[in-house]
Amino acid sequence: MSRGYKAISLFWADGYPPGALNGDPTGLVFCSKEADLNFPMEDRYFRARYRKLDTSRRLSNGFRSDLKFQADSDNRLVFALYPEFETLSDEHIVGEGSEALGEGTLIIRKPIYEDRNGYFDLIRERVKIGAKAYLVEGSRKIVELEIFEVINEI
């Protein structure tokens, strides 16, 4: 690989590699560009497998959306929790960064807002291993994800 990329192949104790939302037990090799990994370790909240839904939206580490947990499908509650994609293309560039692949892994940043009126408690109740959520723009689902690791508690 060139231009500061490194190839990483990951397998997890549960037998499913990142990016295998459907339990497909094949390995996933992805390239991450060190310059594209923006969040300091202490700001990282959880890691999830993701799959881009049928949409023309291009994803990169500058992508900002809201996070809606599947548990909230019957209400209008969303959270300002931002992604950092770990699974990036070596060939496609979005703005000044690499485009995220159609599926892979991402890290969600800790909340950037203050903990007011139980905001963090609402998030803590939802962030569990196996929980499903969506990155959304308005009512449009852009990415589905499944949490498989909590990195730092809030």
Low-confidence ranges of the chain (pLDDT < 50): 1-36
**Whole-number pLDDT of residue 53:** 95
**Whole-number pLDDT of residue 1:** 32
Token output for 120: 């963090």
What type of residue is 100? A
For the stretch 7-33, pLDDT in tens is 333 333 333 344 444 444 333 334 344
**Whole-number pLDDT of residue 37:** 57
Residue ranges covered by each domain of the chain: 36-150
DSSP sequence for the chain = --TTEEEEEE--TTS--TT-TT-----EEEEEEGGG--S-GGGEEEEEEEEE-S------TT---EEEEGGGTTS---B---EEES-EEEEEEETTEEEEPSEEEEEEEPPSS---TTHHHHHHHH--TT-EEEEEETTEEEEEEEEEEE-S--
Q: Which residues contact 130 (CB under 8 A, 6 or more apart)?
A: 146, 147, 148
**Whole-number pLDDT of residue 17:** 41
- CATH fold, domain 36-150, is Elongation Factor Tu (Ef-tu); domain 3 (2.40.30)
**Whole-number pLDDT of residue 24:** 41
**Whole-number pLDDT of residue 94:** 66
Residue 74 CA, chain-centre distance (Å), reads 22
